[in-house]
Amino acid sequence: MARTLPPLSSLRPFEAAARLESFSRAAGELHLTHGAVSHQVRALEEFLGAPLFARHGKRVVLTAQGRAFADRVRRALEEIAAAAADARATKNERRLGVSVLPSFASRWLMPRLVRFMEAHPDIDLSVDASVGFADFASGAIDVAIRFGRGPWPPLVCEMFLEDEYFPVASPRLAKKLRQPADLLHMRIIHDDGGYWTPWFAAAGVPLQAPVAGPVFNDATYALQSAARDEGVALARRSIVGEDLERGVLKRLFTLAVPSNERYWFVSPRETAQAPKVRAFRDWVKAELAAEARAGRKT
C-alpha cells in the first residue's frame, strides 16, 4: 500500500530543533539559518495539520504530539544512519587500498595485477603509486609495499623479498664493455639507492672520487635512461626482469651486490589480518614463488 510521506527535507531540522529545543542551535548544528529551520518546521506542521512546537517569543517547547512524533522520527533517522553505515562498511570490506612505490608498481605489480583481479573478483582494488609514506590515517590505504631497512613499529611489517644490484646498459653500449673498469669511461646513471660505490669496491675497481652522473629519484627513470643509450644504470633485480627478457637492457658482468633494503608488507594492526589484505599478501608471495621455480629473474 502506498504511503504518503512528509517532506523529507524537513525531518532533520525538526529532529535537531526538538532535541536541542532551539531553532537557533539546530540551525548552527546543521549549518542553516534560523529562518530555514523555522520554515522547514512550519512546512512539516502544515503537512501534519498539527502544531509540533509551542512558541513563546524566541523560546520553543515541544507539544505532546510533537514529542511523540520526534521520538519516532529520531528512531527512523538512527535506523537510516545505521543502514548507511552498514552499506559503507560493506563497500569498505570490498575495497582494498594498496600503496606502492612507482618503480615496483609499474615494473612488477601492474603487469601481473590482472591475475589478482581474476582470482579475487570480490575485491575492488585501488592502487596508489607514491614514493611518500602511506597515509593509513585516512582509511584509504590498507596495505603498503615499501622498500627499505624496516621494520617500522608500531605498524605490522612483514619482509617478503630481498634484492640485489647489478649494472645494465643498452645492447649497443653493452657490446663495448668488457670489464668493470670500462664503466669508468661511461656516463654513470644513479637512482636514490647509492650502490655504485660498493659495487665498484666489490669489483676491485678503485675510485679516486665518487662516480658522477645524473641522479633520478625513482629507479624506473634510471632504467629508461639506460635503455635510451644515455649511460649505464645499476638495476635492482626485482624490477628489471622484463627489460632483460625483452632485450631492452643487457646485464653487465655476473657481479651483483646485495641490497641493505628489502621489500616489506606494511599495515596498521587494524587491517593487517583482514581477509582482503591476507589475500593480497598471499598472492604476491605466490607470484614470486612461481617465478623463482621457473628460474625467472624477477
What is the C-alpha radius of gyration for the chain, rounded to an integer number of angstroms?
Answer: 31
86: pLDDT strictly greater than 70? no
Q: Using alpha carbons, select from 108, 157, 164, 179 the residue that is nearest to residue 264.
A: 157
The domains spanning 8-91 and 92-163+261-293 adopt the same CATH topology? no
CATH 1.10.10.60 fits 164-258, yes or no: no
C-alpha cell at 207: 675510485
CATH 1.10.10.10 fits 8-91, yes or no: yes
Between CA 181 and CA 189, with CA 187 as vertex, the angle to 5 degrees is 105
**pLDDT given at position 217:** 85
| pTM for this model (two decimals) | 0.66
**pLDDT given at position 128:** 93
User: Which CATH architecture fits 92-163+261-293?
Assistant: 3-Layer(aba) Sandwich (3.40)
Between CA 71 and CA 73, with CA 72 as vertex, the angle to 5 degrees is 95
pLDDT in tens, 191-225: 877 889 999 999 999 987 778 889 998 889 999 99
- pLDDT category at 298 given cuts 50, 70, 90 is very low
Q: Where exactly are the structural domains of the chain?
A: 8-91, 92-163+261-293, 164-258
φ/ψ region of 78 (left if φ > 0, alpha if ψ in -120 to 50, else beta) reads: alpha
pLDDT in tens, 5-39: 888 889 999 999 999 889 988 888 888 898 999 99
- pLDDT category at 297 given cuts 50, 70, 90 is very low
In the three-class reduction of DSSP (H, G, I as helix; E, B as strand; rest coil), residue 163 is classed as coil
Q: How far apart are CA 294 and CA 291, in angstroms?
A: 5
Cβ contacts of 236 within 8 Å, gap of 6 or more: 103, 163, 164, 165, 193, 219, 259
